[in-house]
Structure 1
Amino acid sequence: MKQLKVAAAIIINNGKILCVQRGLNKFDYISEKFEFPGGKIEAGELPSDTVVREIHEELEMNIAVEQDFLTVNHEYPDFKIQMHSFICSTPTRELELSEHISFKWLDVSELWDLDWAAADVPIVDKLIKELDQ
């Protein structure tokens, strides 16, 4: 089974968290689901550097990595994923979608309003426990 190592950014601006929606996918279980933006870790690259690079490439947004958040190991029917997530900040909410079909800036209390990709669910759970107080 294919194994992917990826990094994801939990981007926060003035208390709102960026959530992006995937497009159609050959795997229906991730098609059009929401996720935290990021991408594949390249050989020799630190996961924290991956999120900065991927967010700039996919969203034309500059972010700063603030802290390591959670590493998720999830097995989908067709592949396994190890996802390193990071709390990140950005000075602006301006972005350009190139790989996603929509985005939302939400309060932590609104995160469960979205249909999340399964690998992102543990991150949502932890965010709600730690930030929604």
Structure 2
Amino acid sequence: MKRVNVAVGIIINDQQQVLLAKRHAHLHQGDKWEFPGGKVEVNETVSQALIRELKEEVNLTVNTTEPFMVISHDYPDKQVLLQIHLVKDFTGTASGVEGQKIEWVNKTNLTSFDFPEANIPILKRLLARV
């Protein structure tokens, strides 16, 4: 089984809210909430991939990213390597470019959203920093 290399952005605005996106129903882990991002292409750094993906997915122009953590997770049907970066330096107004629902959420409310299993360690680490 091939491991999918994914750049994940924890986007935090000036009000200390985190941007979440809801996965389309037909996708792997569909109808669950996630931190935006996407696959890292060949010859791309995680930061480059994240900058590209966040422009394509949520229309944000990211200036810099900061490594946060790395998670390797095996689902029954897919293996993912999540390379998570914090994104605090960006411009633009977030929108669901691909028709996905997006929402700015206070960190303390994150636990009320349904996330893919692989995202649970991210939530734990983020909430430890509240």
The alignment's TM-score, normalised by the length of structure 2, stands at 0.91
Distance 1:38 1:107 in 2: 19
One-letter code of the match for 2:72?
N
2:54 is the counterpart of 1:44: no
Residues 86-121 of structure 1, C-alpha deviation per residue, up to 9 Å, x if partnerless? 0002344x1231335211111111110100011111
One-letter code of the match for 1:57?
E
Residue aligning to 2:19: 18
Distance 1:6 1:66 in 2: 14
Residue aligning to 2:8: 8
Residue aligning to 1:58: 57
Residue aligning to 2:127: 128
CA 32–38 in structure 1, closer or farther in 2 if over 3 Å, else same: same
Please state how far the C-alpha of 1:7 moved relative to its aligned partner: 0.3
Distance 1:117 1:18 in 2: 16
One-letter code of the match for 1:122?
P
Please state how far the C-alpha of 1:84 moved relative to its aligned partner: 0.3
Residue aligning to 1:31: 30
Residue aligning to 1:99: 98
| RMSD, matched Cα | 1.4
CA contact (8 A) 2:95 2:102 kept: no
Distance 1:79 1:48 in 2: 23
The number of equivalent residue pairs is 128
CA contact (8 A) 1:109 1:128 kept: yes
CA contact (8 A) 1:8 1:36 kept: yes
Distance 1:10 1:100 in 2: 20
Distance 1:12 1:53 in 2: 17
Residue aligning to 1:76: 75
CA contact (8 A) 2:60 2:91 kept: no
- Unaligned 5+ residue runs, structure 2? none
The alignment's TM-score, normalised by the length of structure 1, stands at 0.89
Distance 1:26 1:108 in 2: 25
CA contact (8 A) 1:13 1:91 kept: no
- Unaligned 5+ residue runs, structure 1? none
